[in-house]
A and B are shown apart, each in its own frame.
Chain A
Amino acid sequence: MKEKRFKGTIAILLVALFIVVIIASCCGHYHLDPLTCLKLLIIKPFVKTGDWSELDESVIYGLRLPRIIGAIIVGTCLSLSGASYQSVFQNPLVSPDILGVSSGACVGAALAILLHLPKTFIMIFAFMFGVLTVVLTVTIPKVLKSESNIMLVLSGIVVGGLTGSAMGIIKYIADPRDELPQITYWMMGSLDGLSYSTILFSLVPVCICVFVLMRMSWWIDVISMGEKDAQTLGANVKRIRLITIACSTLLTATSVCMAGTIGWIGLVIPHFARMFVGTSNTKIVPTAALLGAIFLLGVDTIARTVARTEVPLGIITGLIGAPFYAWLLYHQRTRLK
């Protein structure tokens, strides 16, 4: 794809993101007319008071803005992680949970909910268990002295089974009146109540990983050629794969602990990005990031406005993502093996 066209695509996506941010900040159960919203967003940073109430300010800056920022971060994390995993495993049908980071994080969070730990611990447990699960998945092939991708995938299936059973036990023990609904709700994904401190903490791993993945994007292309080819071309497959898996895992773990498990983004958005800018990761990384951010921001806005209660994000991404994915596969059926 020509460089100019690519830059044009990115520019359009940035504008689209900006527009969705504006729309998102004007929507919500708290009734605030769009003009006041815009004034609050644009003018407030410069003046102390205006024709808005303190409560209006609180809602925009304390409730909506963190969710908007959170949605952008989580959308970016999940789509980048999905794109990278797909390249590492040379399979466009792979989702970020292939090594078990999401299911492991669920176990961690469920455990924390069961033990009635405060919210910070739920996030810490989710993150830790997510990362530990991937470490387990990656260690099994090492112990069996195998370096192939297939062993990694099989190991992911085994570990996925383990985490599934662990979840089953936890759900069985949980009190169906309060603990179980909390676990279920967390698993389906929500950005409600996201605090600025959580966002700040998550920015550190997110920025590092996104930066690394962007710099490594060409090499990720090379290893998507297959282990044999990549090595004879001069790529240190083991090292690149490790770095890519580590970054993708950290990104997914961060987004899971911020917002619970949200499916379909990591699977569908990279495909969408490929439709726009071709297959090279150098172009997909920024494109998928923007597309993921726009998509999740749209989904979160729908989730918190369309029904009387908050709709979990995973439900909406599934409702939109699954048929969309079917359409994508149909559209690309000649290109995929």
Chain B
Amino acid sequence: MSPIVRLSSVSFSYPGSKRKILDDCSFSIEKGEIVSILGPNGSGKSTLLNCACNLLTPQSGLVYLNDIPISSMTIQNVAKVIGYVQQYQESAFAYSVFDYVLMGRANRIEMFRKPDSNDFRIVENVLEKMRITHLSDRPITEISGGERQQAAIARAIAQEPQVIFFDEPTAHLDFGNQISTLKLIASLKNEGYAIVMTTHNPDHSILLGGKTVILNKEGHLEIYDASQIAKAELLSNIYNTDLLVPFVKEAERFVCIPKSL
């Protein structure tokens, strides 16, 4: 089984800058896998995602989707494989949530055509599944940040992709919503989607299980699987802070928390 996404020795720096954001990075995402990407601020987590879906072109190295080089794929075909939920959902115009989610069907619609009844049905189903049907007619600019993110996730699902990228999905949510989002991501994985998620909270990595990719400020990445990640020294190194990773019986899992202040 070829991996859905495979980065092979990818290096990237922004034009005009000498600093290598990504230096010789390789990793792959298999079907149904969850991958979290950890790293300190400015380590290039978003850049890694953007390279993986062809929003940025690496200076060297290659990206493959299902073994096909991404540079030879059409934009629509890339969108059939990867759905992307950005960190911020901004819209200059007040589209209804329904219309917003409908845009997820763009990867299957021809240039001079519009969505058809089949597309409408799929969007209705996705809204139902995400339990946001009540938001259908509300303008995307007038709902809360958390609701907007749910709409963005619905839109990604409407794309019917193989893998969904999340860029810091919990960053702006309240605590309760953070947990709900993580639950949602876990359930998506169970339905067969591969997930790639950048996060600044290492505890989320432990919660979700799956592979963890640690990116450092020099642009190098290391890959750990679920069993290897729950190590205090490892996680403390990332953030240059003392962290503890005790096993908490009530939670039935390892937990990553800061020491007492």
Contacts and interface: CB of A to CB of B under 8 A. Distances in A.
Q: Do chains A and B touch in the complex (CB under 8 A)?
A: yes
B92 A235 contact: no
Contact of A221 (B76, B78, B103): B103
B136 to A, nearest CB: 11
B8 interface: no
B59 to A, nearest CB: 15
A234 B76 contact: yes
A279 B95 contact: yes
Interface in B110-160: 111-115, 139, 141-142, 155, 159
Contacts of A36: none
Contact of A90 (B74, B79, B92, B142): B92
Contacts of B83: 232
Interface residues of A, number: 32
A332 to B, nearest CB: 9
B1 interface: no
A280 B84 contact: no
Given A92-B92, A225-B91, A218 B75 contact: no
Interface in A210-242: 212, 215-219, 221-222, 224-226, 228-236
A202 B78 CA distance: 40
Nearest to B91: A225
Contact of A91 (B80, B92, B104): B92
B103 A222 contact: yes
| Of A212, A219, A232, most B-chain CB atoms within 10 Å | A232
A27 B104 CA distance: 51
Contacts of B24: none
A176 interface: no
Given A231-B75, A233-B107, A221 B142 contact: no
Contacts of A231: 54-55, 75, 79
B53 interface: yes
B114 A232 contact: no
B82 interface: yes
A239 to B, nearest CB: 8
A309 interface: no
A232 B53 contact: yes
Interface string B67-79: 0000000111011
Interface in B160-214: none
A282 B114 contact: yes
A225 B152 CA distance: 12
A232 B84 contact: yes
A334 interface: yes
Contact of A280 (B95, B108, B109): B95
Contact of A226 (B80, B90, B96, B113): B90
Interface string B37-68: 00000000000000001110000000000000
Interface string A231-262: 11111100000000000000000000000000
Contacts of A279: 93-96, 99, 139
B98 to A, nearest CB: 10
B41 to A, nearest CB: 20
Nearest to A243: B111
| Of B74, B84, B103, B113, most A-chain CB atoms within 10 Å | B103
Given A224-B92, A225-B91, A279-B95, A215 B112 contact: yes
Contacts of A29: none
A235 B84 CA distance: 13
Nearest to B107: A234
Nearest to A226: B90
A87 B92 CA distance: 9
Contacts of B103: 221-222, 225, 233
B9 interface: no
A92 B79 CA distance: 27
Contacts of B80: 234
A335 interface: yes
Given A216-B112, A219-B111, A222-B106, A232 B93 contact: no
A226 B114 CA distance: 19
Contacts of A212: 112
Interface of A: 87, 90-92, 212, 215-219, 221-222, 224-226, 228-236, 274, 278-280, 282, 334-335, 337
The 4 A-B pairs of least Cβ separation, nearest first, read A234-B79, A234-B107, A232-B84, A90-B92
Interface of B: 53-55, 74-76, 78-80, 82-84, 86, 90-96, 99, 103-104, 106-109, 111-115, 139, 141-142, 155, 159
Given A92-B93, A224-B93, A278-B95, 19 more contacts: A90-B93, A92-B92, A222-B106, A225-B91, A226-B90, A231-B79, A232-B79, A233-B104, A234-B159, A236-B74, A236-B75, A236-B76, A236-B111, A278-B99, A279-B93, A279-B96, A279-B139, A280-B95, A280-B99
19 contacts: A92-B93, A215-B112, A218-B114, A218-B115, A222-B103, A224-B93, A226-B90, A226-B92, A229-B84, A233-B107, A234-B76, A234-B80, A236-B74, A274-B93, A278-B94, A279-B93, A279-B95, A280-B99, A337-B92
